[in-house]
Structure 1
Amino acid sequence: MNRLFHYTSLGGILGVLRSRSLWATHAYYLNDASEFFHGLDFAKQVAGGILMEDDYLEAFGWAIRHGLESVSADDLYVASFSEKADLRSQWRGYCPPGAGLCLGFEFDCLEEFCQSRGYRLEQCIYEHDQQIQQVESLVTQCFERFPKPAFARSDYEKLNSKGRVNANIDYRLSTSEGPDKPQADAAVDWLCAEISKLAPLFKNEGFHEESEWRIVAKEPRELVQFRASSSYLAPYIELEMLSGVAVSALREVIVGPNPNQHRCESSIKMLLDSFGLGNVEVKVSPLPFNSW
């Protein structure tokens, strides 16, 4: 894969070129506000299953379920791209009618930019089974770090009901208040950090056609700014992607379905020339899609 594509408006490309940046929106203020919590809910379900179904690991299940309640999207910003150029659903969903553009960025330049900032460029995960597998793998790794029960499972299962209750209480106290608490807390903190990285990449299977990639910026160094949305102010940061290591990142612009498509094409070429980007290829979409 050589390029990733960002769908935007005519005003959007003006903002990109003037600031030499793309906007990354706070995760709480994405178009679908539930996206971040989609992955987090999976993790809570796994923890809940341990609590309900495995008495032997009840203290572990309780610890991770309790810890996941503190996971949030604070200081987490997201910029979205698609693997696919000139996609009808993207024109419809992310561009104003008759005035959309698709900006093609060199993948290697985006990746180098992210590495220079300590940010992540990763592919979204749509398949439900793969999402479950990813979360279960993290929970398994967390348990490897977590203090183990005093009894082996085989010995625990030989205990009577009272003995099991006492063993569970001892395990819970040891990991929540006693000598094993530092190790337990460190394991749960690790899991929460990993889940907070994974959650922004989980999307509903119904959106798989978008083939989305995301830049995920945790605790960014950029100044937080605000833009007006329909009913609230959305916090965002500017990722300066057209300077420094990513100066040549923008490689093409596709003019979407448009009642004045060729006039728009001409104006985009003039705009790019004025910013010293005359080498960026400009195309027009051949899609027969009328949205105006």
Structure 2
Amino acid sequence: MAISRKTKTSADVTVKKTSPNTKTPTHLTHYTDLAGLKGIIENNELWLSHAAFLNDPQELEHGVDQTKKVLNNLLDDEAVGVTAKARQKLIKDIAADMEEFERPAAYIACFCQRSDILSQWRGYASRQGVSITFKVPGLRSCFSDLDAELLQVAYGINEAKRHLKSVIAEKFPDIVDDIDYLLGTEKNDEIRRKFKDLLATLVPRFEHFGFREEQEWRLVIRNPPTDKLKFRPRGQLMLPYLELKSKKMKLPISAVRIGPGVNDDAVEKSVKFFLETRGYDPDLVMPSSTPYRT
């Protein structure tokens, strides 16, 4: 059974994959607009948005819904027997807990494995989009101060089910044989608390199957100190975010791609000049190859 692997080198951001067969990518790309590019370069930092206030407000709810479905499917999969009853009781209790599940205070920056995705450019149709590609080893060493994790996203119910089931087997290997749980001992609350904590780490990793082309990874920090939080107005909301400053003089950027727009040559020229004045190689800049136009 495949399980999520956790790999870390000294002082690096932790990487968690959905399968041991997955290779950690060497490069990941963050999509933003010109204002985002300016802030990232000039402040030498990334902004992590609260998961409950992402551009798609249903994104976190999708993770919760997927988790509920996975739990119900796990119940259907369990064989008949004493040990299976222990597992079933646990899963039923956790499924009930999910009805009042407290959404995790997770702060997220999103990355894709591809740097020129049409659906991403469409998201910036009303403004000039750019994609910033980072070298992953450099990214991991830049942002390790607040216990950040780089998490691979699992797409669709089948992938979520496989991933959650493997994590249960890894984190709670003794539960199926724990007769005490069936008898209702004081261990119940502790087991359920640990399980809810585990689910809180998984919910931000589940995405709808329709977004699978993004091959997304997420830089995540959970429950940061409140004195680290910033707020910015957007419409009628005050959006919480986290400034994640790099420990290095420059960010490990390997490319900046200009999204399709109405004046590509002028945009490319201006971005090259901006990067050069900030100490980056202007030759990092390249145009999108997609024919899409805003």
CA distance, structure 1, for counterparts of residue 92 and residue 288 of structure 2:
53
User: 2:44 touches 2:251 (CA, 8 Å); kept in 1?
Assistant: no
Partner of 2:238: 233
Question: Which runs of 5 or more structure 1 residues have no equivalent in the other structure?
Answer: 151-170
TM, length-normalised to structure 2? 0.77
Equivalent residue letter for 1:269: K
Give distance in 2, aligned partners of 1:246 and 1:73: 35
Equivalent pair of 2:104/2:200 in contact (CA under 8 Å): no
Report the alpha carbon displacement of residue 203 of structure 1 after superposing the two structures with TM.
Answer: 0.5
Identity percentage over the alignment? 28
Residues 211 and 20 (structure 1), Cα distance of their counterparts in 2 relative to 1, 3 Å cut: same
Aligned-partner residue type, residue 244 of structure 1:
K
Distance 2:92 2:133 in 1: 46
CA distance in 1 between counterparts of 2:249 and 2:216 reads 20
Query: Aligned-residue CA RMSD in angstroms?
Result: 2.9
Amino acid at match of 1:101: V
- 2:269 alignment partner in structure 1: 266
Tell me the number of residue pairs that the alignment of Structure 1 and Structure 2 aligns: 262
The correspondence for 1:108, drawn from 137, 155, 166, is: 137
Q: How many angstroms apart in 2 are the aligned matches of 1:46 and 1:103?
A: 34
Residue 189 of structure 2 is aligned to residue 185 of structure 1: yes
- Paired AA for residue 103 in structure 1: I
Gaps of 5+ in 2: 1-24
* Structure with greater Cα Rg: 1
Task: Give the conservation status (yes or no) of the 8 Å contact 2:66–2:206.
Answer: no
- After TM superposition, list the pairs within 5 Å mapping 1:1-292 onto structure 2: 1-48=25-72, 50=75, 56-57=85-86, 59-69=89-99, 71-93=101-123, 95-97=124-126, 99-140=128-169, 141-142=171-172, 144-145=174-175, 148-149=178-179, 174-175=183-184, 180-181=185-186, 183-221=187-225, 223-240=228-245, 243-245=246-248, 247-278=250-281, 281-291=284-294
Task: Report the Cα distance in structure 1 between the residues aligned to 2:91 and 2:131, rounded to whole angstroms.
Answer: 46
Distance between the aligned counterparts of 2:66 and 2:117, measured in 1? 30
State the shift of 1:67 in Å.
3.6
- Taking the aligned partners of 2:206 and 2:72, their CA distance within structure 1 comes to 20
Distance 1:132 1:278 in 2: 44
The alpha-carbon deviation at position 89 of structure 1 amounts to 1.2
- TM-score normalized by structure 1? 0.78
Provide closer, same or farther for how the CA distance between residues 138 and 40 of structure 1 changes in structure 2, counting only shifts above 3 A. Answer: farther
**Partners of 1:30 and 1:92 in 2: CA distance:** 17
Equivalent residues of 2:33, 2:127 under 8 A apart: no
